[in-house]
Amino acid sequence: MAPGAKVVHFSNEDDDQFIIHDNKHASKRRRVQNGVHEREADQPNDRLESSRPKAPTQKQEKDLQRRKQELFEFRKNLPVFTARDQIIKGVQENETVVIVGETGSGKTTQIPQFLLECGIGSPGRGAIAVTQPRRVAATSLAKRVAEEVGTTLGYRVGYTVRFDDTSSQHTMIKYLTDGMLLRELLSDKLLLRYSVVMLDEAHERTLRTDMLFGMVKEIQQTRKEMVQRGEKNVCELKIVVMSATLDAEKFSEYFNGARIMYVSGRLFPVKVYNTIEPQSDYLDAALVTIFQIHMRRPKGDILVFLTGQEEIETLTALLTEYAGQLPSNVQALLPCPLFAALPPAQQQKVFEPAPHNTRKVVLATNIAETSITISGIRYVIDCGVAKVRGFNAKIGVESLLVHPISKSSARQRMGRAGREAAGFCYRLYTEPSFGSLEENTIPEIKRCNLAAAVLNLKAAGVNDVLHFDYMDRPSRTSLSRALEQLYSLSAIDDKGTLTQEGNQMAEFPLDPVFSKVLIQSQQYECTSEVISIISLLSVDSVFFTPPDKRDNVAEAKKRFVHPDGDHLTLLNVLKSYWEVKGDKEWCRENFINMRNIKIVLDVRNQLIQFCTRMGIVSSTSAGNETDNILKSFLSGFFQNTALLQPDGTYKSVVGGQTISIHPGSSMFGKRVEAIMYNELVFTTKQYVRGVSTVQGAWLPMAAPKYFGNSKLASTTTT
DNA sequence: GAGCACTGC
């Protein structure tokens, strides 16, 4: 099949009246970098040593002030700048304000500065916290705003993310991840160090932002009552919710009718086309559309939204093949894959400008919808679906399935074409299909396992999690399941109260199951190994798999295999890495993902620090007693076990479902009496990953409270 | 016999 043999027909393709989004001010303005460009922050040398930030020296001061002046020229042209006085007044007069502003309005960089300048944030009253769902955003925003304020990073302006804290007692504007603020809540239950909490990107509705909504709302009320009672050293807490979409009423309603303010953005008009007919094969439709654009439309790069790595690799291969057949008088076509598992060096390629006379085609997952911004994109192709993580609380199984996106997600994808100039968006579905999409994506809190979130709430003092003030309430089944799981781990007692062990578990930055394993490892005298393995399991993979080298990767993996399964195999990888002292060449030869190994080592160091603080000896080693390591894991993962059936399949002990070992596991194809697994996710089958051999006899020992022998007996018979 | 979107502490 030659590209162009088939044609995909789009509505209104030559009708300039059909413009969905039109900001008439936008095209007149010049694009200004507002410092939220993730690429810069993704450089490996991004990490700062946590030195004690000091006031700048006289010489530094001079440079800082010069830079500040330069930046002011940009700042005063930002749309939000004209609304400075109204915003200050709005926050002064209201305890909560909802601010709606599109990308490029400058709200995230400027509003904290306004609040600092007018004294709402001050050493006396408290600092300004600005939360972000992502680390890179928090760090790059802080760097930019420090420059704008004219201070060294970490002095008046800083950030706090996991493994990296540049804030100090002098910090008045602090950018932090929402997860980090949740952790601060454990030790500062009323967030007394802050006078303002700004929750940015609220429309994304991440699990953590949703938890913060409820907690800051309660804290605001408590602090107000304290002030009314005349308590000293307390001031009221201001809440600023910032959202990019127009669902502000929902936020306002939740926050007792909070004042809504709108800030204009800086997006250019994007013309939207829908297909006239539904497309049975969106991958094929995308391929044809790419060439239709390439042959007929003016310069500008193309961004294609697809669902996953496999699709992206398929389409990359097809594009490369057809691009080679283009006539010599047509400009070249350069496919650039982009997904999270791609090694950083290859991710970097999407940011490089296309060579002369070449059009770049970025084939991306949802990573390009929020996390990564690519310049030069004029055309977006949207297949209308995405892989979505789900959780069935009734049977306790996670899933990862392709699902139609929401209208707001489709608009977000569309907007990616209008960041620098007017653009075009080709939707590979009909207009009625668009009309039938859900308005908003279902918030994460309604579709994930809540065990960790519930434990976190309880540790922060919210005991009645069923009646907590959720903006979107998770189902009762989902909350009950979380409570049951915590009970089975002895994190809470039968009244739902946090136990001493549960309190300890909440301290660790881990899923409660892992915290349990870590604590239990003391009895099995293998804490050192357990910490390493937990760290290794906290990244997607310590290997990376280039699509053309799958066999070589499989070969490399074999070198580390431990007969008992993935847990000890992973440990072998880390041991080998240490033996060669992280030699780069060795990593390359063995397809070791250095970025992820770095994260593993960071997590490991952090866990050791937490252990030390809590009086757990982290150096205890199992030596050759590797069974003890597996027994430790079983003490947390006893529910994640399956038994071999006479027909050679595995059946889960809880739920009795037939499960398959993921092909990426070292246990793939092996038959043993019983297995324990790290996770079970339904994709095309019920796949388990992170699998090790266990003995059936260990099960009742691992969880005497949970296992009656009857339960075991009932699943072993077929 | 065959494969996981994206975040975060």
Do A646 and A603 belong together in one domain? Answer: no
Do A259 and A141 belong together in one domain? Answer: yes
Sheet of A332-338, strands arranged across:
A270-274, A423-427, A377-382, A301-305, A358-364, A332-338
Q: How far apart are CA A331 and CA A356, in angstroms?
A: 9
Do A541 and A584 belong together in one domain? Answer: yes
Do A366 and A229 belong together in one domain? Answer: no
Strand B at less than 7 A from CB of A531? no
Strand B at less than 7 A from CB of A162? yes
As ranges, strand B nucleotides with an atom below 7 A of a protein CB are 1-9
Angstrom distance, A477 CA to B2 C1': 34
Q: How far apart are CA A146 and CA A173, in angstroms?
A: 9
Per-residue model confidence (pLDDT) at position A329: 87
Do A109 and A227 belong together in one domain? Answer: yes
Do A616 and A659 belong together in one domain? Answer: no
The structure's pTM equals 0.89
Domain boundary among A263, A290, A310: A263
Residue A198 lies in a domain: yes
Virtual CA dihedral for A550, A552, A557, A558, nearest 10 degrees? Answer: 120
Angstrom distance, A555 CA to B1 C1': 19
Strand B at less than 7 A from CB of A366? yes
> Which CATH number covers residue A158?
3.40.50.300
Residue A97 lies in a domain: yes
Q: Give, for A197, the enclosing helix (H) or strand (E).
A: strand A194-199
Angstrom distance, A20 CA to B3 C1': 39
Do A679 and A571 belong together in one domain? Answer: no
Strand B at less than 7 A from CB of A389? yes
Contacts for A108 with CB less than 8 Å, ≥ 6 apart: A34, A36, A130, A141, A200, A242
Q: What count of Cα atoms within 13 Å lies in the side-chain half-sphere of residue A261?
A: 23
- Which nt is closest to the CA of A603, judged by C1'? B9
Q: 3-state class of A660 per DSSP?
A: strand
Residue A491 lies in a domain: no
- Which nt is closest to the CA of A341, judged by C1'? B4
Angstrom distance, A507 CA to B4 C1': 28
Per-residue model confidence (pLDDT) at position A69: 84
CB A556 within 8 A of CB A591: yes
Per-residue model confidence (pLDDT) at position A271: 96
Angstrom distance, A337 CA to B1 C1': 29
Per-residue model confidence (pLDDT) at position A447: 92
Q: How many domains would you assign to chain A?
A: 4
Per-residue model confidence (pLDDT) at position A146: 94
Do A350 and A430 belong together in one domain? Answer: yes
Residue A497 lies in a domain: no
Q: Give the sign of the dihedral formed by CA A520, CA A526, CA A527, CA A530.
A: negative
- Which nt is closest to the CA of A135, judged by C1'? B8
- Which nt is closest to the CA of A184, judged by C1'? B9
Per-residue model confidence (pLDDT) at position A283: 94
Summarised one tens digit per residue, pLDDT across range A409-428 is 999 999 999 988 999 999 99
Q: Using alpha carbons only, how large is chain A's radius of gyration in Å?
A: 27
Residue A592 lies in a domain: yes
Q: Which residue is nearest to nucleotide B2 (CA to C1')?
A: A663
Residue A548 lies in a domain: yes
Strand B at less than 7 A from CB of A180? yes
Can you read off the two tokens belonging to residue A28?
Answer: 């007149």
Angstrom distance, A274 CA to B3 C1': 32
Which regions of chain A are under pLDDT 50? Answer: 1-2, 4, 15-51, 709-718
Q: Which of residues 132-161 of A touch strand B (CB under 7 A)?
A: 133-136, 161
Do A147 and A157 belong together in one domain? Answer: yes
Q: Which residue is nearest to nucleotide B6 (CA to C1')?
A: A367
Domain boundary among A247, A263, A279: A263
Domain boundary among A230, A263, A296: A263
Per-residue model confidence (pLDDT) at position A56: 79
Do A203 and A343 belong together in one domain? Answer: no
Do A202 and A123 belong together in one domain? Answer: yes
Angstrom distance, A563 CA to B4 C1': 25
Angstrom distance, A536 CA to B6 C1': 19
Could you write out the DSSP letters of every residue in A235-295?
A: -PPEEEEEESSSTHHHHHHHTTS-EEEEE------EEEEEBSS--S-HHHHHHHHHHHHHH
Q: What's the domain range around A661?
A: 638-718
Could you write out the DSSP letters of every residue in A384-401?
A: SEEEEEEEETTTTEEEEE
Can you read off the two tokens belonging to residue A157?
Answer: 């302006």
Residue A397 lies in a domain: yes
Residue A315 lies in a domain: yes
Do A192 and A46 belong together in one domain? Answer: yes
Angstrom distance, A664 CA to B3 C1': 7
Strand B at less than 7 A from CB of A443? no
